[in-house]
Structure 1
């Protein structure tokens, strides 16, 4: 029996007899049989964040691909993906259904900070793995407090540190103004930036100001920040407000270096509404390859992704970067499942998830590696600085690691 899983751009052949899998003592947790591994997740298939549903759809499609190629160690993956409407109470209700009625082995890839916050304590009390969760919130990856929860992408504190390292290198004498969303997202990001600046934070940061999600506009905040004379603007806002900021800066001719949060790096949602000419020169961070970038046209990892999209998601837009996100998240889970062999308990799944070593996924930017340990539940701590040239995002310098 053979399973073929593409990880790191190479085909991994798991011959059960040769690897000794048949000789292993089978040790199964909930949702596992000789032929199946059942996992669950909730996604915003409806509601205000429904654009992120592409992540769940692409994960399901990738597992379909794996199943068509033999599964993992001979077992097919059964993903039960439910709609939470981006509502915390609904996420709790649906997650309880997945754990108590569907009896899934683990929750994998659930998207969103508010929804993941809502289910985190429940999953940890029940000792159900919550793996590769789609949020950059710091508290999702704190093994000393939540030993059954693990994020996936770089957390917001790490991204703030990465921006601080960039500013210290490129603009060491700059004056920095910060706008942040008044929630965990904005506060974690801003704290990471301050921590990254260290002793220089007091002299370099000239003003910090927040905004509420319910506010219709941030124009007044932009005017206040410009008045400080800052020549670097760290904009820790979400897409709607980032587009407003870019337009307002152009209107009032505030020529500061504009650093956007990675949540606002979308051409469709931010740069095009703000005006491509107005957006020229803005900076963000990224860790995965962009299907819109012609630089990856001949890249083997991108070719594999596009072939996957053509076969398994023919009616979906391959240029949607949320599909890339889901595709890579699913690949990460497959890697961990391979490592589990026939010891498919919740405890061993968590142990293997916390033992990732230099995992290279073919859709990641060069130099981005995934690593975890028993005390490190943030698989990624690296980002690439990207600058918009008026048409596309262009890499600037090398990959920056928040921990080095």
Structure 2
């Protein structure tokens, strides 16, 4: 049966009735839950080299503000505590300890970054506190056997790397590929997926360059890659560096087929700083409707999104699609909380998160849904290619993935 966001209230009522009992009889609660409140922890890079991603946390706070204005979830208001870690793993661990041990949140939600989430994964699982819908696509977030309290959300980087490989094999079968990637789990996951997707043709990759998140620029790496004669560039980097790469490629007059990882595809966060004229022809993947795409201009869900955005994020950039992704993630979390009813234990929250069946959020692309299971901790697993025309991303081709 297909479940849609608009039916969440009726689903929640059914779930609450099925639980039996009442608030007067006392409900099963863990720290962070009461009759009136659900306390959620979050960690974002509001400062530092990945601060472009701060839009995620701002959007999630705005969505929960909307929920609270409408009466909360099952009569409980969301207390969303979002802290800055500067994209520094030691700081992430410090903030996670504060949220769990001092603020006593029910769970962590949408903590951002691969190296930062890696720093707290063991801690969260030892504490048996959900680390839910982490805002990073590393494949390690889908390992329920070893880390049953950690779950991803977006399509994982390994799978996206395989999609890029298939696209190259389909469209540039004789390509000479140059790759630039971040020297950590984030970049290595993408590279591993690309190589796996190319299979016995991975020798098509003729050059690889890395960068550290602390590097000031990646200009020298791009100069090296151009000198190899590569005609396809895989840009597997975070927004700050992705913008530098796009700009430097244009400055050098290099004209490769330029693939850009989805997490750096935001027009507002990456393409505008890089120069929209320099971004024409970029290819990425997508799983949600782009606010800048005219085909969704009169789409009901997009009109509702713009109304929400105007009310709750009045000074934000509507071209920054990280806001939309943050909202979609928050909607997924809302669904789980409504399904949990009055049984607000950490164990039940995790159980509900691993029991999502064909949830169709209105701003996901047609044919893409949210689905999980006890052995499937990858909620979104489908992608479609898109090309930037100077104004917006234009979808094309088939949907890849499971």
Q: Distance in 1 between matches of 2:303 and 2:331?
A: 16
User: Contact (CA 8 Å) 1:59, 1:327: kept in 2 or not?
Assistant: yes
User: Contact (CA 8 Å) 2:175, 2:232: kept in 1 or not?
Assistant: yes
Q: Distance in 2 between matches of 1:100 and 1:32?
A: 14
Q: Distance in 1 between matches of 2:48 and 2:270?
A: 20
Structure 1 match to 2:105 = 104
Q: Distance in 1 between matches of 2:241 and 2:51?
A: 18
User: Contact (CA 8 Å) 1:39, 1:80: kept in 2 or not?
Assistant: yes
Give yes or no for the alignment of 1:294 onto 2:273: no
Structure 2 match to 1:324 = 324
State which drifts further: 298-307 or 134-143.
134-143
Give yes or no for the alignment of 1:361 onto 2:361: yes
Helix, strand or coil for the counterpart of 1:92? helix
Structure 1 match to 2:114 = 113
Deviation at 1:264, TM superposition (A): 2.7
Deviation at 1:251, TM superposition (A): 4.2
TM-score, normalised by the number of residues in structure 2: 0.90
Helix, strand or coil for the counterpart of 2:32? coil
Mapping for residues 72-221 of structure 1, pairs under 5 Å: 72-202=73-203, 204-221=204-221
Greater relative contact order structure (CA < 8 Å, 6+ sep)? 2
Deviation at 1:367, TM superposition (A): 1.9
Give yes or no for the alignment of 1:67 onto 2:72: no
Figure out how many residues of one structure are paired with residues of the other and give that number: 396
Helix, strand or coil for the counterpart of 2:359? coil
Structure 1 match to 2:351 = 351
Q: Which runs of 5+ in 1 are unaligned?
A: 1-5
CA RMSD of aligned residues (A): 2.4
State which drifts further: 67-76 or 350-359.
67-76
Q: Distance in 2 between matches of 1:339 and 1:331?
A: 12
TM-score, normalised by the number of residues in structure 1: 0.89
Give yes or no for the alignment of 1:20 onto 2:17: yes
Q: Distance in 2 between matches of 1:10 and 1:267?
A: 32
Deviation at 1:279, TM superposition (A): 2.2
Residues 181-203 of structure 1, C-alpha deviation per residue, up to 9 Å, x if partnerless?
2221111101001111222223x
Structure 2 match to 1:314 = 314
Give yes or no for the alignment of 1:257 onto 2:254: no
User: Contact (CA 8 Å) 1:9, 1:301: kept in 2 or not?
Assistant: no
Residues 288-336 of structure 1, C-alpha deviation per residue, up to 9 Å, x if partnerless?
2222222211111111211212233333333322221221111001111
User: Contact (CA 8 Å) 1:160, 1:191: kept in 2 or not?
Assistant: yes
Residues 30-80 of structure 1, C-alpha deviation per residue, up to 9 Å, x if partnerless?
222223222211223333433333222221221122222232223222222
Structure 1 residues 215 and 69: alpha-carbon distance in aligned structure 2, compared to 1, 3 A threshold: closer
Deviation at 1:160, TM superposition (A): 0.3
Q: Distance in 2 between matches of 1:49 and 1:247?
A: 18
Q: Distance in 2 between matches of 1:257 and 1:279?
A: 11
Deviation at 1:109, TM superposition (A): 1.4
State which drifts further: 126-135 or 385-394.
385-394
Helix, strand or coil for the counterpart of 2:57? helix
State which drifts further: 64-73 or 143-152.
64-73
Structure 1 match to 2:381 = 381
Helix, strand or coil for the counterpart of 1:333? helix
State which drifts further: 294-303 or 90-99.
90-99
User: Contact (CA 8 Å) 2:52, 2:269: kept in 1 or not?
Assistant: no
Residues 352-373 of structure 1, C-alpha deviation per residue, up to 9 Å, x if partnerless?
1011111111122222211111
Residues 88-116 of structure 1, C-alpha deviation per residue, up to 9 Å, x if partnerless?
23322222222122222111111222321
Structure 1 residues 199 and 281: alpha-carbon distance in aligned structure 2, compared to 1, 3 A threshold: same
Q: Distance in 2 between matches of 1:156 and 1:211?
A: 18
Structure 2 match to 1:3 = none
Helix, strand or coil for the counterpart of 1:400? strand
Q: Distance in 1 between matches of 2:180 and 2:274?
A: 17
Q: Which runs of 5+ in 2 are unaligned?
A: none
User: Contact (CA 8 Å) 2:61, 2:80: kept in 1 or not?
Assistant: yes
Q: Distance in 2 between matches of 1:27 and 1:290?
A: 40
